[in-house]
Amino acid sequence: MSTENSEHSASAILKSNLELILAEQSRLAKALDYGQVAAIIPYLLSARRIFVAGAGRSGFAMRSAAMRLMHFGLSVYVVGETTTPAIEKGDLLLIASGSGTTGSMVSAAQKAVAVGANVVALSTTTDSPLAAVAAHIVVVPAAQKQDHAHLISKQYAGSLFEQSLLLITDAIFQTLWDMDGRPGAELWKKHANLE
């Protein structure tokens, strides 16, 4: 196969895969319970401080959520950072785990509840140790990492769930911003300036 044919084939496969990802996210968006998602907002606005957590790629998506919530003016910390303080009563742990069984995430949620903090979880199931301790859970209709039969998603491992975390938390931020009405330039003043 010539290089030109190989590049054309790769570009066609890339286009097909991006369309697959977007179609799966569109199906997920239609199946999402928006009442469950909207119920996160009072937790965010009433929390003294917000702690976000997730393992692996879910953790990367939750870091993005932390940045946007900080831009909105909320006091936000990422669990595991050296400057993250102890969680306390009146705080919120916003946590993501597709399976709801990731040991470090379940442990963090249990510790948060033990000190009187609220836990809000994003997961694919309500039947898990994480769901059992959460004050509120948003069920994300995505595949878990072990869905090797591709029953819900044709993507690898938990990709659909991890991508949806970024989209759902961005939609939450956008909703907070719409409800608040401050101009973007005002929020931008909180953006990092030591880059």
Q: Is residue 101 part of a domain?
A: yes
Q: Is residue 9 part of a domain?
A: no
Q: Read off the pTM.
A: 0.91
Least confident segment among 2-16, 66-80, 138-152: 138-152
Pick the catalytic residue from 81, 162, 186, 195: 162
Query: Tens digits of per-residue pLDDT, 30-48?
Result: 999 999 999 999 999 999 9
Q: Is residue 106 part of a domain?
A: yes
Asked if 182 and 173 count as a contact pair (C-beta separation under 8 A), the reply is no
C-alpha distances out from residue 67 to 61, 98, 105, Å: 10, 21, 20
Residue type, 55: A
Q: Is residue 18 part of a domain?
A: no
Query: Tens digits of per-residue pLDDT, 108-121?
Result: 999 999 999 999 99
CATH of the domain at 90: 3.40.50.10490
Q: Is residue 3 part of a domain?
A: no
- Respond yes or no: is residue 162 known to be catalytic: yes
Q: Is residue 102 part of a domain?
A: yes
Distance, in Å, from the CA atom of 86 to the CA atom of 57, rounded to the nearest integer, reads 24
Query: Tens digits of per-residue pLDDT, 128-139?
Result: 999 999 999 999
Asked if 99 and 115 count as a contact pair (C-beta separation under 8 A), the reply is no
